[in-house]
């Protein structure tokens, strides 16, 4: 499974159930990576999308403990065991964890690649994903783009891979 996220310098991912910043090149990268694939997210992440609708041209899976949760066009998993059973039907390389914070924490142990857009700024935030740089060598930074800019923002596309012996 892959993880995909945009983070700030503190590994923050959001504030008040919204993204910290919208960078068109990052959104394009997200679409290119996930279109035609499986995206796994939490309920709040789905609800933050326009009209609370699933992402088009993807298999949308929501991990939520709410037993009565149901949304058209979405597969619902109520716990990790149920999610594991659902994901058996898909190629692991086609599955992307897309957040939010709780889902990133829960699914990180199942991920072997993390695609991170790192924004060179600190934002006011209330949700974070685990800082891969501080995970005791469990993750290795294997690719870093040249500096990108969007107006006055600088950012990088990073690729982390789980170390085989970790």
Bridge partner list, 123: none
Q: What pLDDT is attached to residue 95?
A: 98
Does position 121 have pLDDT exceeding 70, yes or no? yes
CA distance 49 to 55: 8
Bridge partner list, 63: 42, 77
Please write down the HEC assignment for all residues of 46-93. Answer: HHHCHHHCCCCCCEEEEECCCCCCCCCCEEEECCHHHHHHHHCCCCHH
Q: Percentage of the chain surpassing pLDDT 90?
A: 95
Q: What is the pLDDT of residues 69-86, one digit of tens each?
A: 999 999 999 999 999 999
Which CATH number is 2-162 given?
A: 3.40.430.10
State pTM to two decimals: 0.95
């Amino acid at each position: 499974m892959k993880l995909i996220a945009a983070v700030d310098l503190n590994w923050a991912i959001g504030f008040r159930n919204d993204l910290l910043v919208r960078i068109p090149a990052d959104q394009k990268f997200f679409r290119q990576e996930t279109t035609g694939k499986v995206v796994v997210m939490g309920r709040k992440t789905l609800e933050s999308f326009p009209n609370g609708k699933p992402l088009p041209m993807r298999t949308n899976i929501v991990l939520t403990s709410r037993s009565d949760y149901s949304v058209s066009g979405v597969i619902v998993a109520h716990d990790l065991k149920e999610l594991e059973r659902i994901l058996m039907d898909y190629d692991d390389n086609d599955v992307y964890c897309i957040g939010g914070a709780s889902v990133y924490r829960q699914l990180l142990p199942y991920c072997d690649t993390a695609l991170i857009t790192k924004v060179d700024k600190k934002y006011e935030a209330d949700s974070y994903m685990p800082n891969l740089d501080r995970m005791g060598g469990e993750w290795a930074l294997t690719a870093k783009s040249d500096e990108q800019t969007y107006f006055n923002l600088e950012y990088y596309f990073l690729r982390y891979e789980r170390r085989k012996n970790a």
